[in-house]
Structure 1
């Protein structure tokens, strides 16, 4: 399948980047930390007393600890995907990895704790899928992600951008393997004033004015994220499904997303649905779009940030996952939270149209989506689980910070 092959290539680029950072950035990082952790009286900058490092940069954690600076790991993916990567060695022990050639991707997977009743082979992170596709037992992407995930045990604590009401079971199964775990999220909901100015693409604010002219819950919002690349044939299947569903749609088509066919795709989308029903932009202010009264459904790749934004907005989702953690995220949307429909591994206009129609019209899905949104809002409000976890994290870091560096080194060597 073209979109899966492209995903593997993108993941391969990530491995190359990780190796490059390991080779080139560690010395400079060590030097920087050494200079910033000085406790000399002449320093105008307070010494670094704690490091919060991306969990996919394990060397950042190791070097900090070697210098006597406590390090915490922060992972931006879902807790459920973190648990799946943490369970990779068990999946091999149980014989659930590698997938047999030609095996049924709907075969249940029992080796990820807490997910035995609903997880299938096709729901595992995409790097597990590559083993099935290539018969390569030692897949470099899977090996790297599993190793980096297990390495978070070495950090003083693990921070996850999630909420108890979303992933309580996964968090419970992760906690015994870590020194401490903080579930603080969704972060964008905890800081409503937080700008999306860090977007990789310039947002088209004009789409909000177009939404203003649409009726309530009438628009399908389509965005497959910042990395997905689709073929022109796949584009046409999505387009035919959207047109057949009959709803106005706002579609994010990044430059180059449909390759050399991009210009033709933009014209084709507008011509097929008519300018009144089709609005195509290179990028959109997604949080504002999702909470707009006109949006009735979100067709998404199910990246964790997009998933969280859809959850907080209470919008039903149709999920077409692309790679890494998106496969397992979409399973949670469809089978656990029941706030949308999982369309993975299918790119057919009739299926797109049917699922969009169901997501737009289903009172049950909408009620589940809005109910989950209310639960998450309670999590981030004063007294909620995420708010309490944030306070606990602040105190945790404060306790690390008040201990002098020399005392920490002596204590940690005991």
Structure 2
């Protein structure tokens, strides 16, 4: 058994589970014993979605599972009651984590470090209480990390809360370009900054300041300037190891037979439908695992897709509006679109994006979705909805030029886009976006190809992400015991 034992805490949201679980698998593949900690509710949903198969015991050696309560009963509707869910994550989950840590220490083997999602507010307190090094894992682009980390600069310059001229540029965030208000994460756009979610973010970044390491799911070459400037300020080792997903999709092959995923929704198999469509003809539409969309916007999107005349696959979670709202599509839409489109509750996104018939991705700009789309060479139509997605949109549309914007990016109010994008604009934009031989289409696909090559190189042997991850593992294993973490950072 490995002498290194790492305990990995997964934040109980789908977009956070995917990258940190894949980090755990990478560590386990290198011989590190990993205890993956999942909440009871997340685990139950994953098992149900996978027809009883357990990904934590099926996929990798050197991984074991531990379950912890999030502080709520199993039958509580977390999707419908986000405020109550976030409240227990902030105030109640920590006591359950303490009990689990005591149990893990008692049973052994000794814990070498904990790796926690940065959003956990209690991470630094738990690490210090048990005398264990703390690694903070950031699942979003490092530009977003830098913005949150420098929250105090927004306050100092009168931009938090942002009540002054909304066209004023924010040009003082280290490593970031001059940003508009609508380039900030949605929580920093709001006028009311006293909400529970603001408290979670603030306390999470106070906790992150006490970490021994920061690891980020990004690619160094894509955010080099931000990473370089942030490294000078952190006072702790930092490394980028992205993209963190199943890299065997890199040559457009479907996932390995028998692989069990960590999806919380049962996945539809769309391969036969996709096989029937011409190359690069299909628009894939998904708003991710967490964001909610108004029923009015769903109606505009539905009619816009229909009027675009393009074949589409549209992922509509059962709770996309709210878990207690049914019949969200316009009357007659399913009949009218049956020859053109396919509406499903959930899919394996990597499988869809890797299919040759998919020519574009209308996305909410979640970071996992962006990384997967770029890895598989699919240009994007950006439709940010909340949190980091506004900043992500800035990266992919203006910095990397691998996406077009759908509608004007409007200020977030209570994490809801304030401007409805109409069916006419949706149809026209999709047509322009999917015109492969048009000027914009050619430029997008050329830029996506260039970014894809950068990502692939980073993940290969000798690449930045591969080297950074192996350097971190070497540190864990004590192969270079003469080096302190700060010395190792200079090595990687």
Q: Indicate the TM-score class for this superposition, using the shorter chain for normalisation.
A: 0.7 to 0.9
SS at match of 1:146: helix
Equivalent in the alignment of 2:237: 180
Structure having the higher helix fraction is 1
The counterpart of 2:403, out of the listed 324, 340, 356, is: 340
How far residue 16 of structure 1 moved from its aligned partner, in angstroms, is: 4.6
SS at match of 1:48: coil
TM-score after normalising by structure 1 = 0.84
- Give per-residue Cα distances to partners, 1:357-395, cap 9 Å, x unaligned: 232221001111121111101110111110001111101
Unaligned stretches of 5+ residues in structure 2: 1-77, 250-254, 411-418, 436-440, 483-492
Change beyond 3 A, Cα 1:80–1:354: farther
1:388 counterpart = 2:460: no
RMSD between aligned residues: 2.7
- Give per-residue Cα distances to partners, 1:84-109, cap 9 Å, x unaligned: 111211011112222227x53x4422
- Give per-residue Cα distances to partners, 1:309-336, cap 9 Å, x unaligned: 1111111111111111111011111101
Deviates more, 1:88-97 or 1:293-302: 88-97
How far residue 139 of structure 1 moved from its aligned partner, in angstroms, is: 4.5
Change beyond 3 A, Cα 1:316–1:173: same
How far residue 18 of structure 1 moved from its aligned partner, in angstroms, is: 4.7
- Distance in 2, Cα, partners of 1:233 & 1:381: 45
How far residue 62 of structure 1 moved from its aligned partner, in angstroms, is: 2.1
Residue correspondence of structure 1 range 230-269 to structure 2 within 5 A: 230-258=293-321, 262-263=326-327, 265=329, 268-269=332-333
1:113 counterpart = 2:113: no
The counterpart of 1:270, out of the listed 311, 319, 334, is: 334
1:130 counterpart = 2:190: yes
Give the conservation status (yes or no) of the 8 Å contact 2:175–2:227: no
| Number of residue pairs aligned between Structure 1 and Structure 2 | 380
- Distance in 2, Cα, partners of 1:110 & 1:348: 33
- Distance in 2, Cα, partners of 1:196 & 1:79: 29
Give the conservation status (yes or no) of the 8 Å contact 1:269–1:278: no
- Distance in 2, Cα, partners of 1:191 & 1:402: 33
Deviates more, 1:250-259 or 1:311-320: 250-259
- Distance in 2, Cα, partners of 1:199 & 1:401: 37
- Distance in 1, Cα, partners of 2:481 & 2:99: 23
SS at match of 2:124: helix
Equivalent in the alignment of 1:354: 428
Give the conservation status (yes or no) of the 8 Å contact 2:161–2:190: no
Equivalent in the alignment of 1:300: 363
Give the conservation status (yes or no) of the 8 Å contact 1:297–1:356: no
1:317 counterpart = 2:380: yes
The counterpart of 1:398, out of the listed 458, 477, 484, is: 477
Change beyond 3 A, Cα 1:130–1:366: same
Unaligned stretches of 5+ residues in structure 1: 1-9, 404-414
SS at match of 1:109: coil
- Distance in 1, Cα, partners of 2:136 & 2:181: 28
How far residue 181 of structure 1 moved from its aligned partner, in angstroms, is: 0.7
Equivalent in the alignment of 2:41: none
- Distance in 2, Cα, partners of 1:126 & 1:13: 20
1:80 counterpart = 2:159: no
- Give per-residue Cα distances to partners, 1:257-286, cap 9 Å, x unaligned: 2457743617643334x3221111111111
TM-score after normalising by structure 2 = 0.71
